[in-house]
A and B are shown apart, each in its own frame.
Chain A
Amino acid sequence: MFDIAVIGGGVIGATILRELTKFSLKVIMLEKESDVSMGQSRANSGIVHAGYDAIPNTNKAKFNKLGNEMMQDYCYELGVKYVNNGSLVVAYDDEQMKTLYTLLERGKQNQIKDLSIIDKDQLFILEPSLSRNAIGALYAKRGGIVCPYELTIASVGNAMDNGAKLELDFEVDKIIKTQNGYLIQSASGKKVESKMIINCAGYGSQKIANLVGDFSFKIGARRGEYILLDRESGDFVKRTIFATPTKNGKGILITPTVDGNILLGPTAEEIQENNTNTTALGLAKIKTIASSMAEKVPFYNTITSFSGVRAFCDRNDFVIEESKVAKNFINVAGIESPGLTSAPGVAKYVVEELVSKSFELNKNQNFNGVRKPDYFFNRLSIEEKNKIIKENPSYGNIVCRCEKITEGEIIRAVTENPKATTIDAVKRRTRAGMGRCQGGFCQPRVAEIIANVLGVDLKDVTKNGGKSNIIIGRTK
């Protein structure tokens, strides 16, 4: 019997899980996919928003500000890379300039510091790649970037190191109210009992709430497609460039990523179900809009495209509350943008203000919030590298040539919390396969390492769980 079951392994579930382990509570995370961070937290813009954009006095505004302020320290503790690169909302005509002043005003209302309007000349000094049609920008110095799945994985890993349990491939199918709490059943018949449930199932959060008779919110899906450019074009822009929101929508952004790539997107298209396919129209749209925002966008350096699906809520704000129909059932739903930014703040609130109503929060004396500092091996000095190789020679074997990822890091990904068991899970933890050859060179080697460590045959190794096997069998 657990005290709390967190349903959903995205960044919200992950940060809440970790926050819970600061106290003496028995906690478990239930995730329906083969790995954490496979929903929205896998494919989004990775922006830590400054906070001027959210409507004042909403949950979004409150938690955006809180999360933004917490993010630097939060990432540092977990060894996750965070870059405070700043954001620019760029105006290309007078109408848009007016909107910038509206955003500035909204930012003031939200009590966001370090916001200013800059003119054309200042703008081009900061970002020479921008289109010459730009006339000014809102400069938000508190904007930053982070890798959403790195943050999620590190949070879950640290939570597990502090005692939290993780059940993957657990698709919640049925929730039965019991005397002491809830009996949660998976589609495949697994059972978990828990006194309290925190529902942060992203796109699936409506379904989960409905299972306990809570119909207080509806979740819709809005797909966003992206194009990723090679690190070779990594200095195309330094700050995150937003288009000024117009009647036609929010536009796309052009942003560096923490790993030095350039990300273009997202589009925004309402879809009927969770579908992360990219479309020819969507990709073409990104190119058209990006070309209007900046000069000579290096599309020739595209290394991949992908899409994510936002789970938006009919309340148009974060739903962070105890269910009115189910006791000890907390909904944390509709966490679309600025969800990633808000996560550390949301987690703190959920635990300190909501969970505390039902549980005494006794400090976990053994809690260690520090996950080994970021150890992309390639970032270490020669001396540090040689020290590690002496103890563990597998760090001397480069597997992913493009990103310079070693065998040691891949083995660690398969053996350290939360353990990777698929090619993509290894990719998310180590970056092996994310370089310009997109796994052409390293995939067979990564697959072999997974097979060796897990003690399975190569044909049982999958790309992303389920039936995504990469090999069907031996040759003749």
Chain B
Amino acid sequence: MMYELIIIGGGPAGLAAAISAYDNGVKNLLIIEREDCLGGILNQCIHNGFGLQRFKESLTGPEYADRFIQGVLERKIPYKINTTVLSLTKDKEITAINKTDGVFILKAKAIILAMGCRERSKGALDIAGSRPAGLYSAGTCQKYVNIKGYMPGKNVVILGSGDIGLIMARRMTLEGAKVHAVCELMPYSSGLKRNISQCLDDFGIPLLLSHTITEIEGKDRVTGVKIAKVDENRKPILSTEKHYDCDTVLFSVGLIPENELSKDAGVELSPKTKGAVVYENRETMVEGIFACGNVLQVHDLVDFVSEEAELTGKSVAEYIKNGEKQRNVVNAINGKNVSYVLPQKIDKNAEKFVKLFFRVTGSYKNAKITLKSGDKVLLEKTKKIVVPGEMENIIVPINLIKDVKDDIILSVEV
């Protein structure tokens, strides 16, 4: 069965991309979603704060998702739910499975990867001790509480001050649990500033920066943890170890783009973002395969996911209509104090401007953001404060890079 476009993932990225592709002329398309409804992870994010940028409203996750689900339904864009994609080839052939169709193969002219990301598990952290019940990644806990209506525990310690950990600190407290502390390995939090204030400060939950969990105790169910301060190399200082009683530990220790299918298809991934290497139009290095949303780079604000997905939908429509672009490519590279830039490849023939996204490696005040090519400074911008937990971007007019010979490098001076 041949489609013009198949979108893998019906979360915010997949939905916005579908609508954009449709509005730009792609009518023979299909969204494939593994859960039992569209909306993706937003469905379990029942707190508000979504859409402040895009809609100038503070929506809950499901409300934000619904704006796009309605868009898909209005346009009668076909979708399959409860369907898992098992494999993807570089020839854009998908093998998928569900209860009614069994295992089936579909082919498309173009694919959009919109699979989102997964949480890093506790197992990857080398935390010593036992492996009792009561240990959850923050998102899994969120699923139990918000979707299933069950409480995993009453006395909570959270490792990781990423947004999911912060949100769950508040959520568990609202459901009657006691959150004793949120530990963060780094000397700064990786979550949004507003979440620190609204989830921790407002509830009197201590944030222990430069601390980590060194041991987990408990036989059947967790009974406590040991928390220690860490040194400048992030190694625990054992003399500072303190015991905390708890029956639940939540881990919010990083999000990893879920690129198993991308790897299947031979899509080149960046070790810095763990997502695909892309051009500014979000096409990957495999012709006809595009990527957007958290599978490409882990976003902080879904508003930017929607924006990126819309750009991608438009690019795909162009690709389907006009075929592969002839590009005059320059590489965009992260320089000093910058952990990554995206897109990593820019077509110097692109239209008007490119929005270059990046994250910094530390918490910096009065940061001078510089874009250079060789010795030539192309752009400079100062920001009062930049932190790793908040994705930044600069608008790069195309005529600035049209004639560069060397790679363009984005760096931050502090």
Q: List chain A positions with a Cβ less than 8 A from chain B.
A: 227-228, 276-280, 282-283, 302-306, 382, 385-386, 389-390, 393-394, 396-398, 401-402, 404, 436-441, 443-444, 448, 458-459, 462-476
Contacts and interface: CB of A to CB of B under 8 A. Distances in A.
A440 B255 CA distance: 12
Given A396-B102, A458-B150, A474-B150, A463 B95 contact: no
B114 to A, nearest CB: 15
Contact of A386 (B103, B150, B221, B247): B103
A283 B216 CA distance: 14
A396 B99 CA distance: 4
A278 B129 contact: yes
A462 B86 CA distance: 30
A467 B153 CA distance: 13
A305 B123 contact: yes
Contact of A437 (B118, B149, B220): B118
Given A401-B84, A466-B220, A472 B103 contact: no
What does DSSP make chain B's interface, helix, strand, loop or mixed?
mixed
Contacts of A467: 220-221
Interface in B137-153: 137, 139-140, 143-145, 147-153
B130 A277 contact: yes
24 contacts: A276-B131, A278-B129, A280-B215, A304-B123, A382-B103, A382-B105, A385-B97, A393-B100, A397-B98, A401-B84, A437-B119, A439-B121, A440-B118, A443-B140, A444-B140, A444-B143, A466-B219, A466-B220, A467-B220, A468-B132, A469-B221, A470-B133, A471-B151, A474-B151
Contacts, number: 138
**Per DSSP, are chain A's interface residues mostly helix, strand or loop, or mixed?**
mixed
Contacts of A462: 133, 220
A462 B82 CA distance: 26
Contact of A385 (B103, B118, B144, B260): B103
B406 interface: no
A440 B151 contact: no
B126 interface: yes
Given A440-B137, A444-B140, A475-B145, 13 more contacts: A277-B129, A302-B124, A382-B103, A396-B100, A397-B99, A436-B121, A438-B123, A458-B150, A462-B133, A471-B151, A472-B151, A472-B154, A474-B151
Categorize the interface residue count of chain B.
Answer: 35 or more
A474 B149 contact: yes
A280 B102 contact: no
Nearest to A287: B126
A471 B128 contact: no
Contacts of A401: 34, 84
Nearest to A445: B143
B133 A469 contact: yes
A464 B219 CA distance: 10
Nearest to A398: B84
A448 B82 CA distance: 16
A476 B176 contact: yes
Given A440-B118, A459-B150, A476-B176, A390 B128 contact: no
A306 B151 contact: no
B189 interface: no
A280 B144 contact: no
A398 B87 CA distance: 13
Contacts of B27: none
B297 interface: no
Contacts of B140: 439-441, 443-444
A300 to B, nearest CB: 8
Contacts of A438: 121-123
A416 B379 CA distance: 66
A276 B219 CA distance: 9
B214 interface: yes
A208 B260 CA distance: 49
Nearest to A228: B123
Contact of A389 (B102, B105, B150): B102
A21 B260 CA distance: 44
A440 B121 contact: yes
A475 B99 contact: no
Contacts of A398: 34, 84, 86, 97
Contacts of B219: 466
Contact of B152 (A305, A466, A470): A470
B130 A283 contact: no
Contacts of A458: 148, 150
Interface string B86-110: 1000000001011111110100000
Given A277-B128, A476-B175, A303 B100 contact: no
A475 B128 CA distance: 31
Nearest to A470: B133
Contact of A302 (B123, B152, B247): B123
A210 to B, nearest CB: 24
Contacts of A475: 145, 149-151, 175
A355 B145 CA distance: 54
Contacts of B147: 444
A283 B126 CA distance: 7
A306 B99 CA distance: 36
Nearest to A281: B128
A303 B153 contact: no
Nearest to B219: A466
Nearest to B247: A472
List of 9 A-B pairs having minimum Cβ-Cβ separation, nearest first: A304-B123, A463-B133, A468-B220, A468-B133, A438-B121, A396-B99, A398-B84, A393-B99, A386-B102
B102 A385 contact: yes
Contact of B86 (A404, A466, A470): A404
A402 B214 CA distance: 28
Contacts of A304: 121, 123-124
Given A302-B124, A438-B121, A468-B221, A444 B133 contact: no
A303 B133 contact: no
